[in-house]
Amino acid sequence: MAKLQQLHLQIKEIQEQESPKHATSISEQPHTRLELWPRWLMVALNITFILSGQTIGTLLGRFYYNEGGKSIWMATLVSSAAFPILLIPLFLYRFLNTPSTTTTTTTTTPSFFTLSFVYVSFGLLMVAYNVMYSYGLLYLSVSTYSLICATQLAFNAVFSYFFNSQKFTPLIFNSIIILTFSASLLAVRSDSDGPNEVSAAKHVIGFLCTVGASAGFALWLSLTQLSFQKVLKRETFDVVLEMQLYTSAVASCGSVVGLFASGDWRRLEREMVGFDKGRVAYVMTLVWTAVAWQICNVGMVGLIFEVSALFTNVITAVGMPIVPVFAVVFFQDKMDGVKVVSLLMAVWGSLSYIYQHYLDDCESRKTTTADVSGVSDGVTA
């Protein structure tokens, strides 16, 4: 009897060593840490795309207007016209992720009508807020423009609450308030450095257009996140590229229609000839503006995919005080203490929001680990 009990204990010890609980405790934690790095690497890459693309695109847009460009629809078209370059990363992604190396998904693919409706709607919305942004940048100073663009944080907070079930914490509120004050500081000093010969009526038009563009952009961010969650339902990076590719194609077509309907196309040759820096500079300004905004748009959609629409909106707000810093180098703008404080506050607000997402990520991983441990205990029992 004693030998049977001893043999039973030995068998039980062997079963415990080979049980799923032990396998989880050995491999789960390193696997979780390894999975964390690619996600944050993609977040950092998307943030870099947003800040660099937004800064370069805004500076080149100002350069276009300063040197003699006047076409609102051309400025709108270059915001989305570089979409064909997305075919390169999309092809590479699908080539590297062949069916033999990817996991099979059971998610139902949306119908062609549903996808068409999403892409066309988002593309037309993109045209609308890009036109209004173009009017705002034409009629307002950079500082006033940046101040009004900061209202997109408030708009996005409302839209994310209704469409994305966004929860607000003290750190998020702190981030929104600090970033709003950061952009607001830019309006303290600079009514004198705005465009020349702008009437009061045009100033009002620029103000209203920029407010409308900020609301439209915030709505686009929230609806894009909602479409990832409810319509597309595919957690792969190719869906991000497809979203940007097709919506930008629709937006470009809409901008071309506006360019011809408004008659701006008749003035383009004269505008190119009269461009202060020459014809080559005119063409290169438009080309690189298009590339810069496409890089920014890819970063925004990618960051919505990885994190959330509100986080993406906060990151775009960081670029507002960065633009005047580069304007000192390229346009010889005066750099004063207000711009320095604005930049520091933007960094502070951004880090506050990023830290909140870091806390949320840690809490999520703890919950996942606890759930896995509970399941393992149940299997062992």
60-110 pLDDT, tens digit per residue, is: 888 888 888 888 999 999 988 888 888 887 888 777 776 544 444 455 677
The pLDDT of residue 200 is: 74
| CA–CA distance, 351 with 151 (Å, rounded to integer) | 19
Q: How many CA atoms lie within 13 A of 141 on its CB side?
A: 16
Q: Are 142 and 309 in contact (CB under 8 A)?
A: no
Give the pLDDT band of residue 145 (cuts 50, 70, 90): confident
The residue-averaged pLDDT of 220-240 equals 79
Residues making up the chain, counted from first to last:
381
Give the amino acid at 197: E
The pLDDT of residue 188 is: 58
Domain boundaries, the chain: 40-97+111-367
> Picking from 40-49, 204-213, 275-284, 330-339, which range would have the lowest pLDDT averaged per residue?
330-339
Tokens read off for 19: 């049980």
- 100-108 long-range Cβ contacts below 8 angstroms, 24+ apart: 105/234, 107/233, 107/234, 108/233
**Could you read off the pLDDT of 324-375 as tens digits, one per residue?**
777 777 766 666 677 677 777 777 877 777 777 677 767 777 776 665 555 5
**Could you read off the pLDDT of 163-182 as tens digits, one per residue?**
877 677 787 778 778 777 77
The pLDDT of residue 356 is: 75
b vs e for 125-151, b when ≥16 Cβ sit within 10 Å of the residue's Cβ? bbbbbbbbbbbbbbbbbbbbbbbbbbb
Collapsing DSSP to helix, strand or coil, 75 comes out as helix
Collapsing DSSP to helix, strand or coil, 173 comes out as helix
- What Å distances lie between residue 215 and 128, 133, 246, 313, 359, CA to CA? 11, 11, 22, 11, 29
Residue among 350, 328, 353 at smallest CA distance from 338: 328
Give the amino acid at 47: I
Q: DSSP letters along 229-280, please? A: IIII---SHHHHHHHHHHHHHHHHHHHHHHHHHTTGGGGHHHHHHT-TT-HH
